[in-house]
Chains A and B, each alone.
Chain A
Amino acid sequence: MQKYTFVIDIQYKSNVRDPRGETIKRVLNEEYSIPVSSLRLGKSIHLEVEAESEEQARQLVEKACSELLVNPVTETYEVRKL
């Protein structure tokens, strides 16, 4: 068994409003005069998984995403191996 490390990047779908992101963007615009035109706040999950192969590790991470980590109704995600 080998350990594999992945990052799962979870974002709200583009048609879903993100009040936290809007607030942070407003503060950057108004308090720091930084002309950020769009800001979306998502989640980043770093995890380490033990598997026989990278392919198997990816399958396990995909399972974790579909079973618990991601709500497909409102979120999209990307998996990257570190």
Chain B
Amino acid sequence: MTLPKAQVVVYPGSNCDRDALWACKYVGFDAEFIDIYSDIDADLLVLPGGFSYGDYLRVGAVAAREPIAQKIKEFVSRGGLVIGICNGFQILVEMGLLDGALLQNSNGKFICKIVDLEVVDNSTPFTSYYLKGERIRLPIAHGFGRYVKTNDVNVALRYVEDVNGSDQLIAGITNANKNVFGLMPHPERAMEKILGSDDGLRVFLSAFNYIKNNGGVRG
């Protein structure tokens, strides 16, 4: 069997793309960068953090309307796995692939620190290597991470304490099919103990093994 393949979408203004690529390779993915004009040829698609298009108008708003958006939607409907981290989460919400909205942190500040989180749902392809209710530590680095809920969503990750004013302490959600995962914390920055935490490693391991066990979606 060929290796599961990951593609990291590099938007103008992405800045966590290399960390994301490294994290994918670290757990065994054949991984590469693509851009907004590329075709998708992957089992896992990563929308990385950063400030796509300077976050003009609204965070993620312009990136969500680029040519690759339709291809991402088609990829999702085929059952492909998509993880959006930080700005990637904001882009997924603007694309309508995840519900709700992400607004400025309630204290008006950019918050950059390691926070405690609880794994609420470990039955997703991205969280199967965690225990339900497990406490983990991941870095956050965002100015616009306050999640505003519009519908009932499947919560995958919650902050243990209020950090940015998010509804119900929501830090990460999935769509109903659980193949789209958006989260504000950065698992790709918590891959080894030397980075302060290796609690993010299992997000990528979970996805890698889900694809190995269930087969990918590549033609």
Interface residues of A (CB under 8 A from B): 16-17, 19-20, 22-23, 67-69, 71, 73-74
Given the known A-B contacts A16-B148, A17-B165, are A71 and B105 also in contact in the complex, defined by CB atoms under 8 Å?
A: no
Given the known A-B contacts A19-B105, A19-B107, A74-B103, are A68 and B148 also in contact in the complex, defined by CB atoms under 8 Å?
A: no
Minimum C-beta distance from B32 to chain A (A): 30
State the 10 A-B residue pairs at the shortest beta-carbon distance, nearest first. A19-B108, A73-B101, A74-B101, A19-B104, A73-B150, A23-B108, A71-B58, A19-B106, A17-B106, A71-B101
A-B contact pairs, 5 of them (CB 8 A): A19-B107, A20-B104, A22-B108, A68-B61, A71-B61
Are A74 and B148 within 8 A (Cβ)?
Answer: yes
Given the known A-B contacts A16-B148, A17-B165, are A71 and B107 also in contact in the complex, defined by CB atoms under 8 Å?
A: no
CA distance A22 to B104 in the complex (A): 12
Interface string of B62-102 (1 = CB under 8 A from A): 00010000000000000000000000000000100000110
Q: Which residue of B lies closest to A67 (CB)?
A: B65
Are A16 and B103 within 8 A (Cβ)?
Answer: yes
A71 touches which one: B65, B94, B108, B146 (CB < 8 A)?
B94
Interface residues of B (CB under 8 A from A): 57-58, 61, 65, 94, 100-101, 103-108, 146, 148, 150, 165
CA distance A23 to B105 in the complex (A): 13
Q: Which residue of B lies closest to A73 (CB)?
A: B101
CA distance A68 to B69 in the complex (A): 14
A22: chain B residues at CB < 8 Å are 108
Are A73 and B105 within 8 A (Cβ)?
Answer: no
B58: chain A residues at CB < 8 Å are 71
A20: chain B residues at CB < 8 Å are 104, 108
- A-B contact sample (12 more), CB < 8 A, given A68-B57, A71-B94: A16-B103, A19-B104, A19-B106, A20-B108, A22-B108, A67-B65, A68-B61, A68-B65, A69-B57, A71-B58, A71-B61, A73-B148
A73: chain B residues at CB < 8 Å are 100-101, 148, 150
Interface of B is mostly: loop
Q: Which residue of A lies closest to B93 (CB)?
A: A73
A16: chain B residues at CB < 8 Å are 103, 148
CA distance A68 to B95 in the complex (A): 11
A17: chain B residues at CB < 8 Å are 103, 106, 146, 165
A19: chain B residues at CB < 8 Å are 104-108
Q: Which of A68, A69, A73 counts the most B-chain CB atoms under 10 A from its CB?
A: A73
Minimum C-beta distance from A57 to chain B (A): 21
Q: Which residue of B lies closest to A69 (CB)?
A: B57
Minimum C-beta distance from B181 to chain A (A): 20
B104: chain A residues at CB < 8 Å are 19-20
A68: chain B residues at CB < 8 Å are 57, 61, 65
